[in-house]
Amino acid sequence: MTLNMDFLVNPKALESRVKEAIEPIFEELESKYGPRDIKLRLADVSFVSMDSTVWCPERDLSIYIDKRFLANEQWVGVLAHEAVHCLGHVKKLEMTYLEEGVAESFSTDYFSRRFPGETLPPSDPRYRIAAGYVKELESRCGSIVKTVRRAQPALSKLTKQDLLGLCPTISESLADVLTARFYNPSECWQPD
Ligand SMILES: [Zn+2]
């Protein structure tokens, strides 16, 4: 894995902290939601002047973290969010409320346990709404996300019918919104 932190005064110090931070995040993620897609490899983590995202042209994943989150360890929360998108990858345009909701709820929960008393800056309210839908789903069907990923490792590829088959007690409208696309095409610029 390479880390691109050229702009930092002391990139080496942060580089080792990023490497240290990644391991427990993936450990917890995999125990909670099942194993990563083994065809994918985390190749790179970069701090950049754009929105945080994951880029995966083929099998190598790159995590980009908005460098505004360097303050107060907030980047650890962003890393936890983006790590969810590394469990199984789809293009940003294809991401669903289910995947973004899982990423949001995992990262806020992980960050508040890791750094008690610290909070992540408020994100676009849509992320909290997506996390709310996932909570509703989990209240009906417990560890449903792990079950879902056994059938389909990339959460966003799950269809409404698959979801209703795995968790028949949810309403059709909840299944609709969880499997709906989260982003508009205008929000889906990706780095080259
Ligand atoms: Zn996300």
pLDDT digits (tens, 9 = 90+) for 147-158: 999 988 899 999
Using a cut of 0.85, tell me whether the model's pTM lies above it: yes
- Beta bridge mates, 159: none
Whole-number Å distance, alpha carbon 127 to ligand 1 midpoint, is 8
Q: Are 38 and 22 in contact (CB under 8 A)?
A: no
Evaluate if residue 175 carries a pLDDT over 70. Answer: yes
pLDDT band at residue 14 under the 50/70/90 scheme: confident
- Gap from CA of 140 to ligand 1 centroid (Å): 23
What's the domain range around 78? 2-183
Ligand 1 centroid to residue 112 C-alpha, Å: 18
| pLDDT confidence tier of residue 6, bands split at 50, 70 and 90 | low
- CA 111 / ligand 1 centre spacing (Å): 15
Determine, yes or no, domain membership for 172.
Answer: yes
Torsion of CA 169, 172, 173, 175, to 10 degrees: 80
Q: Is residue 79, in this structure, part of any structural domain at all?
A: yes
In this prediction, residue 8 has a pLDDT band, given cuts at 50, 70 and 90, of low
Distance 183 CA to ligand 1 centre (A): 10
Please tell me the total count of domains within the chain: 1
Per the rule left: phi > 0, alpha: psi between -120 and 50, beta: everything else, 183 is beta
CA of 129 from ligand 1 middle (Å) equals 13
- For residue 191, is it within any domain? no
Mean pLDDT of the chain: 89
Whether 99 is in a domain gets the answer: yes
Hey, is 180 helix, strand or coil?
coil
The Å distance, Cα 85 to ligand 1 centre, comes to 7
Model pLDDT, residue 122 = 82
Q: Is the pLDDT of residue 7 over 60?
A: no
Ligand 1 centroid from CA 11, angstroms: 25
Give me ligand 1 centre to Cα 117, in Å.
23
Residue 188 maps to a domain = no
Q: Where is pLDDT greater, at 120 or 5?
A: 120
* Residue 179, C-beta contacts closer than 8 angstroms, at least 6 positions apart: 96, 97, 98, 158, 159, 160, 163
Tell whether 192 is covered by a domain. no
Residue 82 C-alpha to ligand 1 middle, in angstroms? Answer: 6
For residue 192, the model assigns a pLDDT of 46
As a whole number of angstroms, the distance between CA 60 and CA 40 comes to 6
